[in-house]
Structures are given as C-alpha cells and as structure tokens.
Chain A
Amino acid sequence: MNKKNVMVLLGGILFGFGLAYSGMTRQEIVLSFLQLKDLGLLFVLGGAAAVTFITINVIAKFLKTPLLGGEFKPRRLPFSRNVIIGAVIFGVGWGLSGQCPGSAVASLGTGNLPVLLGLAAMFIGAYLWGFLDSRR
C-alpha cells in the first residue's frame, strides 16, 4: 500500500472510531436525535466540522501543500437545484432508517449486520442515480 493510502486508512480508522464512540453507528440513537428526544448528535457534527474547519482554514494555510504532495482544495461545490432535491430525498431516507453513508459503513464494525441490507440498498440507489444521469 502506498503512503497516501496508509494515511487514508489511519484517518478512516479514527473517523470510524469517532463515529462509533459518538453513537452515530446506532440507528436508534440517530432516530432519537431526529425525533428531537436527544439533541446530542448536533455536537458530533459540530465537533467534527469545527476541527475540520480549523484544519482547512488555519493548518492547511500554514502548511501550503499536503505533506505527501498534491494541493489543498476546500470542498466548495456550485449551488444547483440538484443539491437541494437530492438533499430532500436523502433526508427522507435518513429520517426513515437512521442511516447515512459513513455511519452505515462504520456500523458494520460494531457487528451490526442488518445494516448490510441498508448498504446494499444504498449501492442500488446510487446506481439508479448514475443510470439516470448517464442518459441525460
């Protein structure tokens, strides 16, 4: 494995550890947040976004280029109708199942095998969008 992938693996391990630690990998906890019974999940998103904000806006500017080469590009996508329509569809799925892509993948590591069905369905959903997008 090249150096880049080693760092992606290490970062992914921390990412997955944090998601499990915070309870994001448990659909019941996510649903109790969405039912507004336990607002703690705001701190997961807030904590992760705040750390990453400092990384992108302060540390990366100080380093100038990534340690293994390449360039820093903040993730700013142009606004489009698709972003919003897609977010509506994603929101219905998240609210129905308590699963989002990262937390569903990480959830496998907690032994939560039923989520395999959810992940298979995510692949099918992503395929359907790709199928439609290829025809345009």
Chain B
Amino acid sequence: MFPLGIEPYLIGGIIAGIGVSLVYLTTGLHATQSSFFTTTLSWLSKRKHFQKERNIKERNWRVVLATGLIIGALLYTLTLSPTGFWTTSVQLWRLTLGGLLVGFGTRFSKGCTSGHGISGLASGSKTSLSAVIVFMGIAIVTANIVQMLGISP
C-alpha cells in the first residue's frame, strides 16, 4: 500500500497546506488553481464567460500564484530533490487529451484538486466533498482501464 512510506507525502501535503493557509490568513483569498485558466483567458477572449467582473478582478493575483507554484517546485528541485530536474515519460497524447478534459471538466465543475480537494473540503463544503468523491473515483477507474488496455507509460 505504501511502498515509499507515508512521510514524504504527509510532509509535502502539510507544506502545501501552510502555503494555502498563508494566502488565506493574509488576504482572505483561496489559493485554488483551475480558475487561473479562465481568468488568464479574460485577457484574450471577449466572450461573456471570461469577461465577468470577478475574472478581471482575480486575473493578476492568479498569475502571481501560478508563478509562485513554479518557483516553489524549482526551489525543491534545486535543493532537496534526490533526482534534480526530471521529465515525465507518460506519452504526449495522454498529457494532451487528459489536459483537455482536465481544463474543460474543472471549469464545468467549478473546482479541481485544490479548489474542491483542499479549500472546499477545509471549508466543510458538502458540494466539494461530492465532487472529490466523484473525480477521484472516476480517475481510479480510468487509470485502471488504461493500464488494463496495456497503455504504458
């Protein structure tokens, strides 16, 4: 069940939670990720969905948050990482088709692993709890079907 132990997972999760907490306690903002796509697209698309006042208002800090995520992972890679820089070997068509569904689905669902999974669950939201159960269950089924079809990596 836990071939690599639980420590790196738990410690990493706690550090991530402290990051989300720091943003919330200082600004009241929820450091969630999938809205970043929508708010960033408000610079490029005049369509009603993207031009909502909320998206315009949030687009700057959401770019800052995404930049922070990249810098944080870079700092880990340059310091504690046992392997240093790293590249996935998961096939590109999987990253692309999967990414398309992730982008569409998270906006449809108004949240992702961070929005529903961290901030939503921590807020005691039953809506987010149902979303987490559904996306995790479906992802487990999907990953196992892909594996059964012999698609690897």
Determine whether the beta carbon of B104 is less than 8 Å from that of A125: yes
A8–chain B nearest beta-carbon distance, Å? 5
Determine whether the beta carbon of A11 is less than 8 Å from that of B96: no
Determine whether the beta carbon of A19 is less than 8 Å from that of B16: yes
Which residue of the partner chain B has the closest CB to A103?
A: B113
**Inside 8 A of B97's CB, which chain A residues have their CB?**
93, 96-97, 121
User: Contacts A75-B125, A90-B106, A126-B104; is A16 near B69 (CB within 8 Å)?
Assistant: yes
Contact partner of A126 (CB less than 8 A), chosen from B18, B34, B76, B121, is B34
Main secondary structure of the interface of A (DSSP, over half): helix
Distance A88 CA – B127 CA, assembled complex (angstroms): 14
Determine whether the beta carbon of B23 is less than 8 Å from that of A8: yes
**Inside 8 A of B126's CB, which chain A residues have their CB?**
79
Determine whether the beta carbon of A1 is less than 8 Å from that of B2: no
- The interface size bin for chain A is 35 or more
User: Contacts A9-B64, A79-B130; is A18 near B113 (CB within 8 Å)?
Assistant: no
Contact partner of A101 (CB less than 8 A), chosen from B2, B36, B64, B142, is B36
**Inside 8 A of B2's CB, which chain A residues have their CB?**
38-40
**Inside 8 A of B136's CB, which chain A residues have their CB?**
91
Q: Which residues of chain B (5-60) have a CB below 8 Å from chain A? A: 5-6, 8-34, 36-38, 40-41, 45, 47-50, 60
**Inside 8 A of A17's CB, which chain B residues have their CB?**
15-16, 19, 72-73, 75-76
User: Contacts A26-B86, A45-B118; is A55 near B73 (CB within 8 Å)?
Assistant: no
Which residue of the partner chain B has the closest CB to A95?
A: B142
**Inside 8 A of A130's CB, which chain B residues have their CB?**
38, 41, 45, 47, 49-50, 107
User: Contacts A86-B109, A96-B94, A126-B37; is A7 near B27 (CB within 8 Å)?
Assistant: yes
| 11 pairs of residues in contact across A and B, judged by CB atoms under 8 Å | A9-B67, A12-B67, A26-B86, A35-B140, A40-B6, A50-B14, A54-B21, A77-B120, A100-B102, A115-B95, A127-B41
Which residues on A are within 8 Å of B, measured CB to CB? 1, 4-5, 7-28, 31, 34-57, 59-60, 63, 65-68, 70-80, 82-115, 117-131, 133-134
Beyond known contacts A80-B127, A125-B37: 17 more, CB 8 A cutoff: A14-B18, A17-B72, A18-B72, A19-B72, A22-B13, A25-B73, A28-B89, A41-B9, A57-B124, A76-B127, A86-B106, A91-B138, A110-B73, A121-B102, A125-B101, A126-B38, A134-B49
